[in-house]
Amino acid sequence: MPLCLGSWPAIWMMPTYSVHGGWLKSGEIDIMEHVGYMPDKVHFTVHREKGSLGTAISLSDVTADFHVYALEWSKDKLD
């Protein structure tokens, strides 16, 4: 990840067809977001019409080392 203010690299998923309406009604899943002014945090969020659910983890080496980000989607949960 870049180490600078103003950067916001992200990996996200959105539906191809918004069958439930525009953004937020059809949802968005952020697999990884790295906000430049928080260099040691990586965020994971599910956005939906009723609000967003998410968390962040601390990684002291997020800007220096290679990391693999993934989402495992099962019937009952997202990991």
- Give pLDDT tens digits along the chain (79 positions): 899 999 999 999 999 988 898 888 899 999 999 999 999 999 999 999 999 999 999 998 999 999 999 999 999 999 9
pLDDT at 23: 83
Report the alpha-carbon distance of residue 25 to residue 33 in Å, rounded: 21
Q: Which residues are catalytic?
A: 28, 33
pLDDT at 54: 94
Report the alpha-carbon distance of residue 26 to residue 41 in Å, rounded: 27
pLDDT at 32: 96
> Which residue type sits at 5?
L
Report the alpha-carbon distance of residue 26 to residue 23 in Å, rounded: 6
